[in-house]
Amino acid sequence: MAAQTRSLVAFAHVANVEASIRFYADLGFKVANTVVPDGKTAPVWAWLASEKANLMVGMASGPIDSSQQAVLFYLYYDDITLTRASLVELGHRPGEIKYPFYMPGGECRLEDPDGYVLMLAQI
């Protein structure tokens, strides 16, 4: 019998956990949990959640090379036009909305502080 996966949560290595927390807050994520090591003031790991979306971010052990990020994160929204406009108003630079055959509701690209590609989409 094949294994039954109950859920999947991405874990992204980041250069600065606090910066990632601030960035993802603009996408609706709230901090569900953090780890701050003894003697430190900043978190080295965080669990971020927004409705059914979850993401773990943790301090990378070495430099982050944005050209080596080979994963796309798809985030789904009810209104991609409004979502994109809100992000622009907050100072982010999402790409133009495109309507490929596989995403008739539209999608646009946004990079996080570490170069991970977020595809913001409306189904």
Of 116, 114, 111, give the one whose Cα is nearest residue 64.
114
Per the structure, how many domains does the chain have? 1
Calpha distance 106→121 (Å, rounded): 6
- pLDDT tens digit string along 95-123? 999 999 999 999 999 999 999 999 999 98
Full residue range of the structural domain in which residue 112 is found? 10-121
CB under 8 Å to 114, separation ≥6 — which residues?
Answer: 12, 13, 14, 15, 20, 60, 64, 66, 69
Note the pTM of the prediction, 2 decimals: 0.91
Residue 90 lies in a domain: yes
Residue 43 lies in a domain: yes
Domain with residue 65: its CATH number is 3.10.180.10
- pLDDT tens digit string along 27-78? 999 999 999 999 999 999 999 999 999 999 999 999 988 888 888 999 999 9
What integer pLDDT is reported at residue 5 of this predicted model? 81
Calpha distance 105→99 (Å, rounded): 7
Calpha distance 112→14 (Å, rounded): 10
Residue 34 lies in a domain: yes
Residue 44 lies in a domain: yes
Outline where DSSP puts E strands in the chain. 10-14, 30-35, 45-50, 53-59, 72-76, 107-111, 117-121
